[in-house]
Amino acid sequence: MMELVVCTTCRLPGFDPTADPDALRCGARLSDALAQAGIAHRRQECLSACARGCAVVLRGPGRWTYVQGGLDPDRDLDDLLTMIRAYGASTDGIVPWRDRPQVIRKNTIARIPPVEV
């Protein structure tokens, strides 16, 4: 069992909120794209990783938690889907390095060990 948490208030670095005040936040667009792809996830306002948006969390009981950033909804959706599947297929949340897309390798913000029972 795994859970994906998506920050809906993230902005990509360089995003200009004054250009179109009605534009969706980048994180909300990422969430919408994941929903369109059929990926269940929890929407969360602000994961306090604002400097490294868009950010998501992968977690689950008995698994390592990964905080991933640097995700561009227009560019990185396929790579994120690859990572979500690989994370889900793992037993402990650790995806072998060779199976991690480049954007995941380069933008791991933190990893947290599973709670010991």
Here's the x/- map for a copy of itself, 58-87, by CB under 8 A: it reads as -x-----xxx--------------------
Position 57 contacts a copy of itself (CB under 8 A): yes
First vs last C-alpha separation in the chain? 17
**E-assigned strands of 1-117?**
3-7, 42-44, 56-59, 65-68, 108-112
Q: Shortest gap between Cβ of 65 and a copy of itself (angstroms)?
A: 7
**Contact between 100 and a copy of itself per CB under 8 A:** no
Instruction: Determine contact, residues 15/52, Cβ cutoff 8 Å.
Output: no
Tell me which of 17, 21, 38, 48 binds a copy of itself, using CB under 8 A.
Answer: 48
Calpha distance 97→54 (Å, rounded): 21
Pairing assessment for the beta strands 3-7 and 42-44 based on DSSP bridges: parallel
Beta-ladder partners of 3: 59
Q: Is 20 among the residues that bind a copy of itself (CB under 8 A)?
A: no
Selected binder of a copy of itself within 30, 47, 80, 83 (CB under 8 A): 47
Binding site for a copy of itself (CB under 8 A): 3, 5, 42, 44, 46-49, 55, 57, 59, 65-67, 108-113, 115-116
